[in-house]
Amino acid sequence: MVNDFLIISSKIKQSNGLEVTTTFGLDFLRLRAFIERKWFEGRAKTYKGVFRLYPLNEICNYLKLLNFKIEKVYGDFDGRKFSFESPRMIIVVKK
C-alpha cells in the first residue's frame, strides 16, 4: 500500500526559551501542503497555512498557454536536473 499522506511534527526550544511545535503535512492526492505552528507567548498562539502544490507538467501547461517557451528546468540553483526529490523547481522560460 502506498501512503498518500505524510505528517512530520517537531518541538524546538529557541534560545529565548520559547517552545515552538511545528506540524507539516503533505497530501499527495489533493496536492496540498499544510503547516501548523503553536507556541505560548503570554497566551497560546497558532499559525496555520495551507498551500497548493503544482506539479511540473501543470506549470508548463499554464506557461505554454501564455505563449512562454520552456528553455530549461532545474532541480536547484546549482543546475542539477529536476526530479521528484529535488529541493526546488526552477523553470527558465522565454517569451
pLDDT (tens digit per residue) in 43-61: 999 999 999 999 999 999 9
Is 5's pLDDT higher than 90? no
**Cα-Cα-Cα-Cα dihedral of 82, 85, 86, 87, to 10°?**
160
Which pLDDT score is estimated for 6?
Answer: 87
Question: pTM of the full predicted structure?
Answer: 0.64
Residues 25 and 13: beta-carbon distance below 8 Å = no
pLDDT band for position 1 (cuts 50, 70, 90): very low
